Structure 1
Amino acid sequence: MQKLASQIEADANQTALGINRVVNANMERAIRTISLERGYDPRLFTLVPFGGAGPMHACELALELGIPRVLVPAHPGILSALGVAIADIVTDHSRTVMLRGTDLDRARVDEEFQGMEGDARVQMAAEGLPADKMTARRFLDVRYVGQSFELTVEYPNRPVRTELTKVIGDAFYKAHLRRFGYADRNEPVEGVNLRLKMDVAMEKPQVKRQSAGRPDSSAALIGEAEVVFQQGPLMSPLYQRDDLVCGNQISGPSLVIQMDATTVVPPGWGGAVDPFGNLLLEPE
């Protein structure tokens, strides 16, 4: 760090803060891509950081994006691995059909889906997956006639009284409006691909709910250290995450340390441990 700092004629702390700002800007841009550009307002959500470094950046990212709270899982460093271990098994299947107008017939489309589902069940059974745990979800790629890309909408699994063309059209218009901010109900649409998702539910671990404790978190305090924030170097309490219990409260500036991650609580932020061991942080 010192070598880089000397090259840009800055001290080590300023250089480290600059690197941190660049990293945050990159992550902020990625979050905007998967939220605002898809029609979701970040202010209506909670930011859940994961990975060993995620909780180090979470509060600053939330502040920049207007996200009102941060939920740090009990074990953020292994959250992805846990997800892989307990995730349902999903297989995806597709078939091109090119249907528009009267071609978008319920009986014809259902027949295509039934054939796809039958093939999928045979394949999954051959892999030793239990047939009684398989569930199918149907989707349709739809676009305006002449458009070069599609949006995927859910296909009604059960018969509906409304004409199928109208049901699919309404779902597409809503998806198009949410994604791009406009939609024209007078333009004809066409179905391009049938999509089938076959799910096999896997057993999930049961998370025990903790009984509420006292707000005092001094039992988890393991020391203090000078930590460099945007406001400058500040003496900050260090907490051992494993010793924090439900109801314990902490305030920034502070660090919460555990085997798989470090959570940075900047000045002006605070929070408490919830009954499931998550650390909920909000601007104070």
Structure 2
Amino acid sequence: AIAVRLGRSAEETARAIVATADATMARALRRVSVERGVDPRQCTLVAFGGGGPLHACGLADIVGAAQVLVPPHAGVLSALGLAMTAERRDGMVSVMRRAGELSAGALERAMRDAEARCDAPGAWSRTWFLRARFVGQGHELDVPAVPGDTPQAARARFSALHKQRVGYDLPVDAEIVSVRCVVSDAPRSVRLERRGGVGWSAEARTDDGGACEAELTEPCSVVLPDATMFVAEGWRARALPIGGWMLERMR
């Protein structure tokens, strides 16, 4: 019905729909890479979700990445992460002081107050962040911190992070908006079951999760246990001994 209204063939319409979806997801990729000072051409993309491996080659072509990892259990990777993630508690205290006006003692007290608000066992790991901005700015960045930090050291670290993320520094003081402490337990261990073997037909191939040595160099769809992977023209898919696949650009 959509193709008829557009006056296009069903294949042309389907290609346009896929291209639109790829462009939308590419914008999200750029938000977590280019906009944070990271060049996606130097990164390996990780495809997850039931449809992620379907769009992997197209997204990599748009952002310039040369390879994509399709991990084992790609279709349920988010659920797997939830099952394995550590318990976490956050504590935060407001500061709202310029770095040049804040003493080292006041900063240390704020960090300890934030830690106390977590109310967590002593064996759990602690990580601190300072939410900071240049005076007059309306947005902040989270700057890693450690006990014993001085406001001057925090200011220098913020400037370096701001230049990396935003592309410039300013000759004005930084404002420490708040201090946050993240307390977390060790990640949980989850045992994953694996099945062996791989089979395929001419264009639609089926991988049931085995650790096979195989390489696909022609465009095809691969039916994974929990997702579908598409190998685009100009790409090859290499099965990994640990399970999963590595997609690599050939051109």
TM-score of the superposition, structure 1-length normalised?
Answer: 0.80
Partner of 1:221: 199
Quote how far apart the aligned CAs of 1:32 are.
Answer: 1.1
Quote how far apart the aligned CAs of 1:277 are.
Answer: 0.7
Work out whether residues 138 and 197 of structure 1, in 8 Å CA contact, stay in contact via their aligned partners in 2. yes
Are 2:133 and 1:139 aligned?
no
Relative to structure 1, is the Cα distance of residues 25 and 58 closer, same or farther in structure 2, using a 3 angstrom cutoff? same
**Unpaired stretches in structure 1, ≥5 consecutive residues:** 125-130, 210-218, 225-235
Quote how far apart the aligned CAs of 1:118 are.
Answer: 2.3
In 1, the alpha carbon distance for the partners of 2:84 and 2:154 equals 33
| Percent of matched pairs sharing the same residue | 33
In 2, the alpha carbon distance for the partners of 1:101 and 1:11 equals 62
In 2, the alpha carbon distance for the partners of 1:85 and 1:244 equals 23
Partner of 1:75: 73
Letter in 1 for 2:49: G
In 2, the alpha carbon distance for the partners of 1:208 and 1:132 equals 34
Partner of 2:168: 182
Partner of 2:186: 201
Partner of 1:262: 228
**Unpaired stretches in structure 2, ≥5 consecutive residues:** none
Partner of 1:215: none
In 1, the alpha carbon distance for the partners of 2:145 and 2:75 equals 37
Quote how far apart the aligned CAs of 1:208 are.
Answer: 9.8
State the Cα RMSD in Å.
2.1
In 1, the alpha carbon distance for the partners of 2:29 and 2:181 equals 28
Letter in 1 for 2:160: K
Letter in 1 for 2:67: R
Work out whether residues 69 and 281 of structure 1, in 8 Å CA contact, stay in contact via their aligned partners in 2. yes
SS in 2 for 1:136: strand
* Partner of residue 87 from structure 1, selected from 57, 68, 85: 85
In 2, the alpha carbon distance for the partners of 1:245 and 1:275 equals 5
TM-score of the superposition, structure 2-length normalised?
Answer: 0.90
Letter in 2 for 1:99: R
Q: How many positions carry a matched residue from both structures?
A: 248
Quote how far apart the aligned CAs of 1:119 are.
Answer: 3.0
Are 2:155 and 1:172 aligned?
no
Quote how far apart the aligned CAs of 1:17 are.
Answer: 0.9
Letter in 2 for 1:95: V
In 1, the alpha carbon distance for the partners of 2:98 and 2:66 equals 44
Quote how far apart the aligned CAs of 1:202 are.
Answer: 2.7
SS in 2 for 1:17: helix
Are 2:31 and 1:18 aligned?
no
